[in-house]
Amino acid sequence: MAPTPYVHPAVDSTAVFKSDLFKGKVLFCTGGGSGICKAMTEAVMRHGASATIVGRNVDRLTQSAQELSKATGQECLAVQADVRHFNQLRDAVARAIERFGTIDFVICGAAGNFLAPINGLSVNGFKTVIEIDTIGTYNTIKATLQHIRASKGSYIHVSATLHYRGTPYQVHVSAAKAAVDATSAVLAVEEGPHGIRSNVIAPGPIGGTEGMDRLSPKGDAQQVVYPRLPAGRLGDVKDIANMTVFLFSDAANFVTGQVIAVDGGHEHLRGPSLPYPESVLDPNAVKHMIKPRL
């Protein structure tokens, strides 16, 4: 019998970082109403920060804000806004400033994705993902920049590893996230002299998230394929949250302009998640493996 690989467990940030690390700080997070970004927000709040979360679904956003406040003992403000529209983001930032007086940290996390080959992807579908991920990131930067300059704060952009190589059925998000990575690098260079840092977190396969569920093939693929990565397990939202806490902390004040993959080594062993070349030669042959759009 082959030896069993060692697996490091996911840990809470509070087991590593001081509980009052971000006391008096304020976070502004797009996409913070669910999934990875909600976990990132919760981690920052657990260390003393207040937060504003922004999204389109006001009911889910309001519920998430209540859950985050209850879990952390810190205040969380829910503000409805669509990141594709700058005026809405500008108003959301104004609400945050009115309530908290400052913004120290920004997470650009709003995103959209679904599986589709280029031949089956509509122009509008491609455009929508670019608008949410890339233009939404730029709009968030533009709306918050003067406040982050004032606080000498920091940005984290949530990206992906899909564009590091050609990933079938992911041209829209690959293009969008490549642009996000490039935008963060320019932001780091231009705004570094003003005291601002900008970095990217690129999550790998994170279990228990809507995105992982929708973008992985139906069936047992998640259980069969992903535990074979070097870390020996699927990622946990805590893994992304811990990197968030580190990058916003003073321990990372010499880290800027970086793209950091938090993927358990997945990228080194990654193959296509759908059968190749069957999935590109005959998309109908794999339609039963694809979940509804996000």
Instruction: Tell me the catalytic residues.
Output: 159, 177
Q: Which residues contact 95 (CB under 8 A, 6 or more apart)?
A: 52, 77, 79
Q: Are 116 and 125 in contact (CB under 8 A)?
A: yes
Give Cα 35 to chain centroid, integer Å.
9
- Centre a 10 Å sphere on the Cβ of residue 126 and count the other Cβ atoms it contains: 17
* C-alpha torsion 236→241→247→248, nearest 10: 180
* C-alpha torsion 15→73→195→147, nearest 10: 160
| Residue located via tokens 């990622």 | 235
d(CA 96, CA 100): 6
Would you state the structure tokens that stand for residue 221, as one six-digit string? 């693929």
Q: Would you call 134 helix, strand, or coil by DSSP?
A: helix
d(CA 247, CA 47): 13
